[in-house]
Amino acid sequence: MSQRLDYAKQSPELFKKYLDFSLALKKCSLEAGLQHLVTLRASQLNGCAFCVDMHVKEARIHGERELRLHHVAIWHESPLFSARERAALAWTEVLTRLPAGGVSEADYQAARTEFSEQEMADLSFAIVGINGWNRLAIGFAAVPGSQDKAYGLDKSGLA
């Protein structure tokens, strides 16, 4: 397979603005741990190896337990997640997969029971954000671990 182009170098202004959007999400109303679970789950659903690798390492750096990271893929059956985390993971799945008939009122209300209006909006923006990064990384065949040093992920202890 040939080397694909570097989208960040080809569209530096758009890359910078999208990165700024992602950095702004880190300051939103959602706790960091919850955001790590959301970015990891969306990346798993999308099959984005680069982003799964990145978000596992980020979560470990920020203190997430290893077993919980393994259980994100099986969160429906796992007892390791709170009701709030389960609601976030369910909303992540709905917005990432977008059902043909749209998002049901039941799915929306299930998330709303755990999140304020602002948190619900912030959570949705976080899901939109990671889905975009997944599509860029998959489309341009980003290599897992290739940016670890640049993003400080080499501090995760995972190699």
129-134, Cβ contacts within 8 angstroms, sequence gap of 24 or more: 129/21, 129/22, 129/25, 130/38, 130/39, 130/42, 130/43, 130/51, 131/42, 131/46, 131/95, 131/96, 132/18, 133/18, 133/22, 133/48, 133/51, 134/42, 134/43, 134/46, 134/48, 134/51
Angle made by CA atoms 144, 56, 143, in degrees to the nearest 5 = 5
CB distance 131 to 47 below 8 Å: no
Determine whether 61 is exposed, middle or buried from the number of CB atoms within 10 Å of its CB (0-12, 13-18, 19+): middle
pLDDT tens-place string over residues 20-76: 999 999 999 999 999 999 999 999 999 999 999 999 999 999 999 999 999 999 999
> What local confidence, expressed as pLDDT, does residue 44 receive?
98
> What local confidence, expressed as pLDDT, does residue 56 receive?
97
> What local confidence, expressed as pLDDT, does residue 159 receive?
76
CB distance 43 to 134 below 8 Å: yes
Residue ranges and CATH numbers for the domains of the chain are 31-156 (1.20.1290.10)
> What local confidence, expressed as pLDDT, does residue 1 receive?
57
Number of DSSP helices (H) and strands (E) in the chain, helices first: 9, 0
CB distance 129 to 37 below 8 Å: no
pLDDT tens-place string over residues 67-126: 999 999 999 999 999 999 999 999 999 999 999 999 999 999 999 999 999 999 999 999
- Looking at 34-89, which runs of residues are DSSP E strands? none
Mean pLDDT of 131-156: 93
> What local confidence, expressed as pLDDT, does residue 126 receive?
98
Centre a 10 Å sphere on the Cβ of residue 4 and count the other Cβ atoms it contains.
10
> What local confidence, expressed as pLDDT, does residue 79 receive?
98
> What local confidence, expressed as pLDDT, does residue 2 receive?
64
